[in-house]
Amino acid sequence: MGLYFLTLLLIITSFICIFNFNFSKANTVKVRVTETLEHNKRYCVAYYYWRDSMNITKDSKRITLVLHATSGYINYLAKQIEIWEGPISVAMFVPRPYKTECIFNKHQICSQYNRTNIWHFQLLEYFKNIFDTTKISLHFFFYKGKFDKCPHVILKGIKKPSGDLIVKYAHALSIIKSLPKYFYHYPINAARNIARIGKRTRLFLSGDIENYSSLNYESKVSKLAEKEILNNNKTNVVLVHRRFEILSRASVPKLKSELYELYKEKKAFVFHWFFFKKGHEISGLNDWFKTKEDFNDTSISFLMFSKRASWEPQFVGDDRVPFHDERFGYRLCSNSHLQIIMCFQNFSFAIMNDVFTVHKGIKRNFKYNELSQLISLKKNFNHLKKEFNENITTYYPHMSERCKQLN
């Protein structure tokens, strides 16, 4: 926790310099110099590239939606703005800039993006001028690579938006999607942790940018979370929602009653039902559907402890929830390991009534690139699994009989 608060202090005291220069009569180009901070020795992070303007106090009961993505997925963020009521903290993974001369003497190490990679930031500029980003804090990060220390980033060549922004936004997005891939293994848990560090509330939901929450999720759950989490110093508890996926052609349901109709018509299924069923199945689904829907509040359906190592619950929690272990790669226990740690730390999981999230599209198999990445990551997995299990049982030996180890 000491490292967490130190990082927050560094973020608060860090600064961003913004300067505007006219390089030609036709275009006004923005130059922005942004400080980056080291994260876990491997990454450099520019916290609060965008900072939300919500009135959030230290005692706020709001829930921050913690998200992560690459810039090619930014369209999903537009949908989250529409659906999520509270603040959003998103970590954006971008290419690593190249080393360059600093424009201010007080900066020791500086970097810059070339004309190709600056498109990632041009896209963000268009996005910010099209959509309401007042509730978004956005942080970008990249691999530290050969930098001795994390550099200041000189963002030069971002044109001020003008004209038909929708057309320009779509053009920028198409360019980014056509660019060569700048990573092999997406650093999913670093992204999750960075977005979480950048939140400004105690309560958070670490979610997926392609998963949409049910109607009034944040306002309903925040009332329950205040009682069960913020005002509860005796036990560790998180509030778990059920997750679903729907056919691509189906409309995204906002209410449980709408979801139930899709479920009966076999247009909606438990999340990853055909891909990784044991990761998301929660008992009592029929009873959950048949419980009368409350449109103003949510409640706890039942309380459970972790019973299987493969479970990947999504939940609302506070700062007592441990951070993700960044050694676990994408699709390789990157989420399930967290609930194992939480079990050993004596967390209980409260399954909520009515609220849920939905992913559009049914996943049935690995994509080719996912499979190749998974094979690559598995080379060191047995060693990591052994080390993880030894550490967790050493730290919490009294929980070994109740909690499952990573398998």
Domain residue ranges of the chain, discontinuous segments joined by +: 2-191, 210-399
Look at residue 25 in the predicted model and tell me its pLDDT.
38
| DSSP reduced 3-state for 246 | strand
Which tokens belong to 345?
């730390």
Considering the chain, what is the average pLDDT of its residues?
Answer: 91
Q: Which residues contact 198 (CB under 8 A, 6 or more apart)?
A: 11, 47, 48, 89, 91, 137, 139
Bridge-partner residues for 154, per DSSP? 33, 112
Q: What value does the mean pLDDT take over residues 352-360? A: 97
Q: What angle do CA 129, 65, 223 make, to 5 degrees?
A: 125
Nearest-angstrom CA–CA distance, 304 and 308: 12
Confidence of residue 7 (pLDDT cuts 50, 70, 90): low
φ, ψ of residue 228 to 5 degrees: the values are -85, -20
Residue showing tokens 């076999």: 266
Which tokens belong to 28?
């006004």
20 vs 407: which has the higher pLDDT: 407
Q: Give rounded-to-5 percent helix, strand, coil for the chain.
A: 35, 25, 40
Look at residue 14 in the predicted model and tell me its pLDDT.
47
Q: Which residues contact 384 (CB under 8 A, 6 or more apart)?
A: 327, 328
Confidence of residue 156 (pLDDT cuts 50, 70, 90): very high
Amino acid type, 43: Y
Is it the case that residue 150 has pLDDT exceeding 50?
yes
| DSSP reduced 3-state for 324 | coil
What's the pLDDT tens digit per position in 169-187? Answer: 999 999 999 999 999 889 9
Distance (Å) of CA 403 to CA 74, 237, 391, 392, 400: 38, 16, 14, 10, 6
Confidence of residue 378 (pLDDT cuts 50, 70, 90): confident
What's the pLDDT tens digit per position in 283-303? Answer: 999 999 999 999 999 999 999
Q: What percent of the chain is predicted at pLDDT more than 90?
A: 80
Q: How many CA atoms lie within 13 A of 149 on its CB side?
A: 8
DSSP 8-state secondary structure symbol assigned to residue 277: G
Nearest-angstrom CA–CA distance, 399 and 340: 11
For residues 271 and 240, the answer to whether their CB atoms sit within 8 Å is no
Helical (H) or strand (E) element with 223: helix 217-225
Is it the case that residue 56 has pLDDT exceeding 90?
yes
Nearest-angstrom CA–CA distance, 211 and 69: 12
φ, ψ of residue 49 to 5 degrees: the values are -60, -40
Is it the case that residue 72 has pLDDT exceeding 80?
yes
> Would you tell me how many other CB atoms lie within 10 Å of the CB of residue 358?
23
